[in-house]
């Protein structure tokens, strides 16, 4: 078995399998001799910002030059191997191969056993990550929750600290009809007597957090930027900060005000990990922050014209993007390229982003769930006479060659299409 064989095997699995629960993951972990118990973890849930928090924390821990740190992210952009990393870079192929080899016989039993059911793609990738992290002699795993929390495959790990970035309304069909219901599902990643860190600001949701944490005897840490750093300057390309206990200014190369909340979450987690015995010098914190990279999220691609790429695909992500565009207006004329899947708020995104551009292009992302031409004609074209349908991304880009800037948004699938077209990796790290 080689790496292409592993990827083919994993991608042949269904994305979701029922009945929902942790029983399949618990079976996988038992048969693998519970690799997830062999190293401490940080478990990161929430609606938006999980990936940014994951890459920031892993970057800081790797910058200590003391610890072997692994991380999981989802979804990937260009290549499936982006989902599992060691020391902020791609996990070596030998670990993918060893993990898949260890899993195949177990999965063949599960596929035949109706009481278990076949494991899903995400369950297998998560199990493979936990196995590989043990084989790599990990010191810390930074694990991003896939969907929800309570029943997510990642929730079989044993976190030193859990993080819930915020509570939005994504995936209501699976997590609950409203934000309080979704909050309780995501709070399933809490562990008794272990801290929970959040940047949620809604008093109603925070009341639920406090109630659940009190019952679990778990400290609740509300992370606020002003407790950790001062903002010297914010630009369209990031932030210049003065961190408590760190000499000199530090550049955070992740644009957008929401990244300040994400950094506060990470610094609160660093504080907890330090209290639990990890040595994290101030210089490593500064290095880790300045080195971080997170493709596809307010990412500038140089060129003529330059392209601002952002995978906003829900209401919360859209609010962050429009807030950024209000603060840092793009050079006009601007060409907007939008893509959307069928169950995402495509019309709302189209209406919200149209005022920031002069020409409007819609292109279907590479996905079987992409909005179709007839759906575009019915839902988006009537919103503004400037909207035009383009069947391919190169055609949509060509239509914007006379613009001063191009904004591409609406779907991470469309972002991935652009990165592939330009030969750029989706998991690249500075």
Is 428 inside any structural domain?
no
Tell me how far apart the alpha carbons of residues 375 and 378 are, in angstroms, rounded to a whole number: 5
Place of tokens 């639990």: 276
Helix, coil or strand: residue 140: strand
Whichever domain contains 368, its CATH number is: 3.90.190.20
| Number of separate domains in the chain | 2
Tokens found for residue 405: 């800037």
- 48 and 88 share a domain? yes
Residue after which a domain boundary falls, among 269, 291, 313: 291
Is 430 inside any structural domain?
no
Is 426 inside any structural domain?
no
- 277 and 328 share a domain? no
Is 273 inside any structural domain?
yes
Whether omega before 333 lies within 30 degrees of 0, making that bond cis, reads yes
Threshold 0.85, pTM exceeds: yes
The domain of 372 spans 299-421
Residue-by-residue pLDDT tens, the chain, 430 positions: 899 999 999 999 988 776 778 999 999 999 999 999 999 999 999 999 999 999 999 999 999 999 999 999 998 999 999 999 999 999 999 999 999 999 999 999 999 998 899 999 999 999 999 999 999 999 999 999 998 899 999 999 999 999 999 998 766 666 777 999 999 999 999 999 999 999 999 999 999 999 999 999 999 999 999 999 999 999 999 999 999 999 999 999 999 999 999 999 999 999 999 999 999 999 999 999 999 999 999 999 999 999 999 998 788 889 999 999 999 999 999 999 999 999 889 999 999 999 999 999 999 999 999 999 999 999 999 999 999 999 999 999 999 999 999 999 999 999 999 999 999 877 433 3
Residue after which a domain boundary falls, among 291, 310, 331: 291
Which segments within 22-77 are labelled E, that is strand? 41-45, 69-72
- 283 and 400 share a domain? no
Tell me how far apart the alpha carbons of residues 222 and 41 are, in angstroms, rounded to a whole number: 20
Tell me how far apart the alpha carbons of residues 76 and 413 are, in angstroms, rounded to a whole number: 9
- 46 and 169 share a domain? yes
Is 62 inside any structural domain?
yes
- 102 and 47 share a domain? yes
């Amino acid at each position: 078995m080689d790496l292409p064989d592993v990827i083919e095997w994993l991608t042949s699995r269904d994305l979701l399998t029922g009945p929902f629960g942790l029983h399949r993951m618990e079976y996988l972990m038992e048969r693998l001799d519970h690799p997830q118990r062999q190293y401490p973890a940080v478990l990161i849930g929430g609606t938006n910002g999980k990936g940014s928090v994951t890459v920031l924390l892993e970057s800081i821990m790797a910058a200590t030059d003391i610890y072997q740190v692994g991380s999981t992210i989802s979804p990937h952009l260009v290549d499936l191997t982006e989902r599992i990393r060691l020391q902020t870079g791609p996990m070596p192929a030998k670990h993918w191969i060893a993990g898949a080899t260890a899993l195949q016989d177990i999965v063949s039993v599960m596929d035949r056993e109706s009481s278990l059911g076949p494991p899903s793609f995400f369950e297998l990738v998560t199990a493979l990550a936990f196995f590989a992290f043990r084989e790599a002699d990990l010191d810390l795993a930074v694990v991003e929750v896939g969907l929800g929390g309570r029943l997510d495959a990642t929730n079989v790990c044993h976190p030193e600290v859990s993080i819930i970035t915020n509570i939005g309304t994504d995936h209501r069909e699976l997590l609950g009809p409203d934000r309080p219901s979704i909050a309780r599902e995501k709070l399933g990643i809490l562990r008794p007597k272990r801290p929970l860190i959040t940047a949620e600001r809604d008093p109603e949701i925070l009341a639920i957090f406090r109630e659940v944490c009190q019952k679990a005897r778990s400290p609740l840490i509300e992370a606020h930027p002003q407790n950790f750093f001062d903002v010297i300057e914010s630009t369209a390309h990031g932030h210049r900060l003065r961190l408590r206990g760190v000499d000199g200014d530090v550049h955070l190369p992740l644009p957008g005000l929401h990244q300040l909340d994400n950094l506060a979450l990470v610094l609160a987690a660093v504080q907890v990990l330090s209290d639990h015995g990890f040595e994290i010098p101030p210089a490593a914190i500064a290095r880790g922050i300045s080195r971080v990279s997170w493709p596809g999220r307010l990412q500038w691609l140089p060129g003529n014209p330059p392209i601002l790429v952002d995978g906003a695909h829900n209401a919360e992500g859209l609010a962050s993007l429009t807030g950024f565009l209000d603060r840092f207006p793009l050079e006009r004329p601007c060409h907007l390229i939008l893509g959307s899947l069928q169950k995402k708020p495509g019309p709302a995104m189209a209406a919200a982003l149209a005022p920031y551009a002069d020409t409007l292009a819609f292109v279907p992302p590479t996905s079987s769930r992409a909005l179709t031409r007839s759906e575009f004609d019915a839902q988006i074209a009537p919103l503004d006479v400037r909207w035009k349908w383009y069947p391919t991304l190169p055609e949509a880009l060509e239509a914007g060659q006379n613009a001063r800037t191009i904004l591409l948004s609406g779907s991470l699938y469309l972002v991935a299409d652009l990165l592939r077209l330009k030969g750029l990796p989706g998991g690249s790290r500075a």
